[in-house]
A and B are shown apart, each in its own frame.
Chain A
């Protein structure tokens, strides 16, 4: 991205002589200069190419500069294209106002001062280049973040599976052996029998802890039976551990969803409940998962806690850092082509994720 990419500058004027003048002035910027002799020709270029700056005469036959700017502004693709008007005739304040109302970044009168025009065009060309670079970096960042989330999910799934397949089986076998030995505990000394019973209790405790860790890493019900039982089981376990009472309202008619959607919804619910426990001070939480009428699945987690602190809410509304939890959830939802919203007041917080049910998301 350190390499300088040339940007396109479109010059629109019905007089070939003027176009030649602009070209001579702007040549040394080293950008791509494109000439259009009519408004229509300019539109053709705009539709086909990514244009950074449009330099245009106000007074032209057929489509004049103001009309061309109006057409451009109606198209979202050209919202960021810088328009500079040049005129020798329309120079009143009202004319200038009309120009700026159409989104012009500048309004230059003839005679042109070459250095000034060159400096202005150069500024907007650079701005365009930087915007494009930023957009491209942003896309890379989103792609990286999606890969990171997928890798984390996969790693958690693998560790949970390993825990179940190796450690879990050893502990299960230990527990069975203990059970058999305890049946014959009367044949050993009371001290030994006591130690055996203690061991049995310890193995049971160990087994519960492994099970909890494995379920938090990746719930087995999620892959084997589906999202709804996995969420119910997680909510039950969460209530037991945290003493936060969780109400679960899940749509009964919702069947299996693509694996990436199921894991994302599960993680969002898991993250929300963790936040309820850590930050909200709420004694209650509610999980609602229902399809809405617009072919969307709505996942809602709300609490009755003290809400997100005002300063954090302000920085969230300004798009600043929201902590890894919320941005991770937002990223998951974005990847699935959905929308994410957090509503918070001193009466509680509600997190709402809306996901397309038709598999419109990017993930596979």
Chain B
């Protein structure tokens, strides 16, 4: 089973994500956090395979949360799920190790993106490995 940690201050959004992620029966939600600091503690404790993180939250924001998670375990794929998706936010997100930014107005790509990030053909940096 692939274990996913959801980090979002809105319970509505967390529930919505749970429903969307049911599309893949091999995934389970191992934990939910409503703020960045709690999420980092859960990240250390639960060792999830994937983290979905909101951008704007009380306390530290999603970028800072991701920065600290990447420092702990750089290979765990992080996906940002936000209302504020923009090229500039995406650039900042990539700098702290976030692999992809998904807009809250269009959740459809989320399942495909996570599947691609977990696919063995794709290296942890999100790029295909060179042909041997």
The number of inter-chain residue pairs (CB within 8 angstroms) is: 78
Complex contact B10–A172 (CB within 8 A): yes
B89 contact from A170, A171, A225, Cβ within 8 A: A225
A211-B92 CB under 8 A given contacts A172-B105, A175-B107: no
Complex contact B86–A176 (CB within 8 A): no
A175-B104 CB under 8 A given contacts A169-B10, A224-B63, A225-B63: yes
Note all chain B residues with C-beta closer than 8 A to A172: 10, 12-13, 16, 83, 104-105
Complex contact B19–A180 (CB within 8 A): yes
A179-B63 CB under 8 A given contacts A164-B83, A220-B55: no
A14 within 8 A of B: no
Complex contact A204–B13 (CB within 8 A): no
B61 vs chain A, min Cβ distance (A):
4
Note all chain A residues with C-beta closer than 8 A to B17: 176
A5 within 8 A of B: no
Complex contact A179–B88 (CB within 8 A): no
Note all chain B residues with C-beta closer than 8 A to A236: 86-88
A261 to B19, CA, bound (A): 43
Complex contact A173–B63 (CB within 8 A): no
Complex contact A211–B88 (CB within 8 A): no
A179 contact from B10, B15, B20, Cβ within 8 A: B20
A225-B92 CB under 8 A given contacts A172-B16, A176-B17, A204-B106: yes
Complex contact B88–A233 (CB within 8 A): yes
Chain A, 154-195, contact with B by CB distance < 8 Å: what is the 0/1 string?
Answer: 000000000011001111110111011000000000000000
B100 within 8 A of A: no
Nearest neighbor of A169 in chain B, beta-carbon distance: B10
Complex contact A207–B104 (CB within 8 A): yes
Chain B, 55-90, contact with A by CB distance < 8 Å: what is the 0/1 string?
Answer: 110000101000000000000000000011011110
A229 contact from B16, B89, B107, Cβ within 8 A: B89
Complex contact A221–B12 (CB within 8 A): no
Note all chain B residues with C-beta closer than 8 A to A197: none
A169 to B19, CA, bound (A): 15
A232 within 8 A of B: yes
Chain A contacts to B: CB under 8 angstroms: 164-165, 168-173, 175-177, 179-180, 203-204, 207-208, 211, 215, 220-221, 224-225, 229, 232-233, 236
Chain B contacts to A: CB under 8 angstroms: 9-10, 12-13, 15-17, 19-20, 55-56, 61, 63, 83-84, 86-89, 91-92, 104-108
Nearest 5 pairs between A and B by C-beta? A176-B16, A169-B10, A173-B12, A172-B104, A207-B105
